[in-house]
Chains A and B, each alone.
Chain A
């Protein structure tokens, strides 16, 4: 089958568009999260998403709207992680661990109450980008627009708090507000990404392109652009590769990301130093 023939399928077109949008979002936010040592927040919020998907499935919410139904709970959880860090004086990774465990425990309990794991729940756990509908694509495009506008508006503030929070505060930047913006945008992105790589592998899309870009990029803006390039390549190549070889798409995307990271690391090790 030629690439043109593959591209003629509507579900492939939708998967490529949605995948590209989500790859860009994950990569851009991933650079900030990795440098702020909040890499695993995506994982934690993904586990909360598991709980919220279970709730949505119990209430027999139309699968098309499960993504939207998950948004409020995941947004609240992201703020919960910040509050735990501030108020309970615990480190960010521990706060992520607590919220993550709560999310997955609730998800398992609710799934059990609802009569066990079904096909829908599995598609969220491991991703099923090839099944994205036109409505889900429209929702993805809308959320992509919201997140990118916010990132553009707060880019300099996000850069400043990522470089050093105290320095940012001494410049009059409201660091508490910007931290909230970062985790809320991450929460929205996680909800979007669950259909691409699945809840289990979301953190890969947030972390690996950013870490790969950090190996080779020269400058902060360049790191973000490079990470986005890596992420888009991995998603596009993953969709084509998985379709051609009849492999699970989410896992293929993650493996391609890992290969890109190894290549970037080798490039830094042997050519850039």
Chain B
């Protein structure tokens, strides 16, 4: 039996007395590409923060690679890419290389010294992301698309088995966004990296994700994107027109 990369059971989260997540349960297995969509305030980012230990649930269990999250320590197996505009300080003085190298700290003990192998891994990842030419530039001097590639490089440089991305394409232009998704698909297909992608971009989810989860404080739908588009329950939930808009592929 295949080990679950992520298993969530009965997860509930409250914020200021309001229930933000209600009884969330699902599993993710190695090689999955799971897309999570939902309206603003549906709890998507809270769900991701709970998985990563950045927020504590009121109820329920989260297991990562078979271990309860509180006991989980192999963080090098997970790469995380947050929503860029939420945290990014444009005047931060780090070079692209320095930022990408941060992604290698997870598997190390203090003082987390850099090795020659680390430099090779950084070099290979920069090449994979097509950003070798800007390795010595300051991250604040880059375009939004380049910055996002750098942060993705930081997330994947340690060769994570699970990659979690929270609205990574916000503020990217359509072409950069498409290239970004192609890069993710390559990682999923060629390196068997499990991907969990939170996004508003339902069209891209339908195009790339193998599994689809619609969230609005609780799970409204879980299955493949095709199942979602054929589901009469979803037609009655969203209305025919909205479902058509979500499912329409260009």
Binding site for B on A (CB under 8 A): 35, 152-157, 159-160, 163-164, 166-167, 169-173, 214, 217-223
Q: Tell me if B189 is interfacial: C-beta within 8 Å of chain A.
A: no
**Closest A residue, CB atoms, query B114:** A156
* Cα distance, A269 to B52, chains bound together (Å): 41
A–B complex contacts, Cβ < 8 Å, 15 sampled: A35-B93, A154-B110, A156-B111, A159-B98, A166-B52, A166-B82, A167-B82, A169-B53, A170-B75, A171-B106, A172-B75, A173-B105, A218-B95, A218-B136, A219-B98
Q: What's the minimum C-beta distance from A272 to chain B, rounded to whole angstroms?
A: 10
The interface residues of chain A lying within 8 Å CB-to-CB of B136 are 218-219
Which listed residue, B94, B110, B154, touches A220 by the CB 8 Å rule?
Answer: B94
* Cα distance, A160 to B98, chains bound together (Å): 10
Q: Does the CB pair B110–A153 fall under 8 Å?
A: yes
Q: Does the CB pair A170–B53 fall under 8 Å?
A: yes
The interface residues of chain B lying within 8 Å CB-to-CB of A154 are 110-111
Supposing A167-B80, A218-B136 touch, asked if A157 and B105 sit within 8 A by C-beta, the answer is yes
Q: Tell me if B73 is interfacial: C-beta within 8 Å of chain A.
A: yes
The interface residues of chain B lying within 8 Å CB-to-CB of A153 are 110-111
Which listed residue, A163, A169, A171, A172, touches B94 by the CB 8 Å rule?
Answer: A163
* Cα distance, A65 to B154, chains bound together (Å): 47
- Best-surrounded residue of A152, A156, A171, A220 (most CB of chain B within 10 A): A171
**Closest A residue, CB atoms, query B81:** A167
Q: Does the CB pair A160–B102 fall under 8 Å?
A: yes
The interface residues of chain A lying within 8 Å CB-to-CB of B113 are 156
Q: What's the minimum C-beta distance from B159 to chain A, rounded to whole angstroms?
A: 14
Interface residues of B in 34-56 (CB under 8 A from A): 49, 52-54
Q: Tell me if B78 is interfacial: C-beta within 8 Å of chain A.
A: yes
Binding site for A on B (CB under 8 A): 49, 52-54, 73, 75-76, 78, 80, 82, 87, 89, 91-95, 98-99, 102-103, 105-106, 108, 110-113, 136, 138, 154
- Best-surrounded residue of A155, A157, A169, A220 (most CB of chain B within 10 A): A220
Q: What's the minimum C-beta distance from A31 to chain B, rounded to whole angstroms?
A: 8
Q: What's the minimum C-beta distance from B158 to chain A, rounded to whole angstroms?
A: 9
**Closest B residue, CB atoms, query A219:** B95
The interface residues of chain B lying within 8 Å CB-to-CB of A167 are 80, 82, 87, 102, 154
Q: Does the CB pair A220–B95 fall under 8 Å?
A: yes
* Cα distance, A171 to B75, chains bound together (Å): 5
Supposing A35-B89, A154-B111, A157-B110 touch, asked if A170 and B78 sit within 8 A by C-beta, the answer is yes
Q: Does the CB pair A160–B80 fall under 8 Å?
A: no
The interface residues of chain A lying within 8 Å CB-to-CB of B108 are 156
Q: Does the CB pair A156–B94 fall under 8 Å?
A: no
Q: Does the CB pair B52–A155 fall under 8 Å?
A: no
The interface residues of chain B lying within 8 Å CB-to-CB of A159 are 94, 98, 102
The interface residues of chain B lying within 8 Å CB-to-CB of A217 are 93
